Amino acid sequence: MKPKHQRLVLVVLALAVLIGAVLLAIWGLRGQASYFYVPSDIASDPPETGRAVRLGGMVQEGSIQTLPDGVTVAFVVGDGKATVPVRYTGITPDLFVEGSGVVADGRLDADGTFVADSLLAKHDENYMPRELEDMSKEQAKAVVAETTAQ
Amino acid sequence: MHGFANPARFLRLARWMTPLLLVAGLLLAGGALVYGLFFAPADRLMGDTVRILYIHVPAAWLGMGGWTTIAVASLVELVWRHPLATIAARAAAVPGAVFTAICLATGSIWGRPTWGTWWVWDGRLTSMLVLLFLYFAYLALANAAQKDGVGAAGTGGSRVTAIFGLVGAINVPIINRSVVWWNSLHQPASITMGKSAIDPAFLWPLLIAALGFSLLFGGVVLARMRAILADFQAEARLRRRAMRSEALGQVTT
Q: 3-class DSSP state for residue B6?
A: coil
Query: Is B150 a residue whose pLDDT tops 80?
Result: no
Query: Is B164 a residue whose pLDDT tops 60?
Result: yes
pLDDT of residue B2: 55
pLDDT of residue B146: 78
Report the distance separating Cα A95 and Cα A126, nearest Å.
13
Query: Is B211 a residue whose pLDDT tops 90?
Result: yes
- Nearest residue in chain B measured CA to CA from A148: B201
Please give, rounded to a whole number of angstroms, the shortest distance from the CA of B64 to a CA of chain A. 18
Q: Burial-class residue B31 by CB neighbours within 10 Å (0-12, 13-18, 19+).
A: middle
Q: CB–CB of A122 and B115 under 8 A? A: yes
The CATH number that domain A39-122 falls under is 2.40.50.140
Query: Is B114 a residue whose pLDDT tops 60?
Result: yes
Structural domains of chain B ordered from first start: 25-184+198-222 (1.20.120)
Query: Is B5 a residue whose pLDDT tops 70?
Result: no
Q: CB–CB of B43 and A130 under 8 A? A: yes
Mean pLDDT for B93-120 is 93
Candidates B43, B121, B187; nearest CB to A122: B187
Q: Provide φ and ψ at B195, rounded to 5°.
A: -125, 150
B53: which chain A residues are within 8 Å (Cβ-Cβ)? 127
- Centre a 10 Å sphere on the Cβ of residue B163 and count the other Cβ atoms it contains: 16
Query: Is B151 a residue whose pLDDT tops 60?
Result: no
Query: Is A55 a residue whose pLDDT tops 50?
Result: yes
pLDDT of residue B200: 84
- Centre a 10 Å sphere on the Cβ of residue B142 and count the other Cβ atoms it contains: 24
Please give, rounded to a whole number of angstroms, the shortest distance from the CA of A129 to a CA of chain B. 4
Angle of helix B156-168 relative to helix B83-115, nearest 10 degrees, comes to 40
Task: Give pTM, 2 decimals.
Answer: 0.84
Q: CB–CB of B75 and A11 under 8 A? A: yes
Q: CB–CB of B43 and A128 under 8 A? A: yes
- Centre a 10 Å sphere on the Cβ of residue A134 and count the other Cβ atoms it contains: 9
Candidates B43, B122, B189; nearest CB to A127: B43
Distances (CA, A) of A150 to A144, A145, A146, B32, B41: 11, 9, 9, 21, 19
Please give, rounded to a whole number of angstroms, the shortest distance from the CA of B58 to a CA of chain A. 16
Interface test with B, best of A123, A131, A134 (most B CBs within 10 A): A123
DSSP A60: P
Residues 49-68 of A with CB under 8 A from B: 56
Q: 3-class DSSP state for residue A113?
A: coil
Mean pLDDT for A37-64 is 86
Q: 3-class DSSP state for residue B198?
A: strand
Range among A48-62, A118-132, B182-196, B208-222 rated most confident: B208-222
Mean pLDDT, rounded, of chain A: 82
A35: which chain B residues are within 8 Å (Cβ-Cβ)? 120-123, 182-185
From the list B59, B54, B25, B28, the residue with the least C-alpha distance to B41 is B54
User: pLDDT exceeding 90 applies to what percent of chain B?
Assistant: 51
Query: Is B28 a residue whose pLDDT tops 70?
Result: yes
Please give, rounded to a whole number of angstroms, the shortest distance from the CA of B201 to a CA of chain A. 7
Helix (H) or strand (E) holding A114: strand A114-122
Helix (H) or strand (E) holding B192: strand B191-192
- Centre a 10 Å sphere on the Cβ of residue B234 and count the other Cβ atoms it contains: 10
* Amino acid residing at A123: H
DSSP B170: T
What confidence category does residue B116 fall into, taking pLDDT thresholds of 50, 70 and 90? confident
- Any residues with CB less than 8 A from the CB of A102 and at least 6 apart, and which? A56, A57, A58, A59, A77, A96, A119, A120, A121, A122
Candidates A33, A120, A130; nearest CB to B116: A120
Q: CB–CB of B199 and A121 under 8 A? A: no
A58: which chain B residues are within 8 Å (Cβ-Cβ)? none
How many Cβ pairs closer than 8 A exist between chain A and B? 114
Mean pLDDT for A107-131 is 83
Q: Please list, residue by residue across B64-97, b when 16 or more beta carbons sit within 10 angstroms of its beta carbon and e when fewer do.
A: bbbbebbbbbbbbbbbebbbbbbbbbbbbbbbbb
A8: which chain B residues are within 8 Å (Cβ-Cβ)? 79
Report the distance separating Cα B58 and Cα B218, nearest Å.
14
Candidates A11, A30, A35; nearest CB to B79: A11
Q: CB–CB of B114 and A19 under 8 A? A: no
More confident position, A97 or B135: B135
Report the distance separating Cα B60 and Cα B96, nearest Å.
10
CA angle A42, A44, A46 (to 5 degrees): 45
Helix (H) or strand (E) holding A120: strand A114-122
Report the distance separating Cα B31 and Cα B216, nearest Å.
13
pLDDT of residue B173: 92
pLDDT of residue B90: 92
Q: 3-class DSSP state for residue B45?
A: coil
Given a contact cutoff of 8 angstroms between Cβ atoms, the answer to whether A95 and A121 are in contact is yes
Helix (H) or strand (E) holding A78: strand A72-78
ipTM entry: 0.72
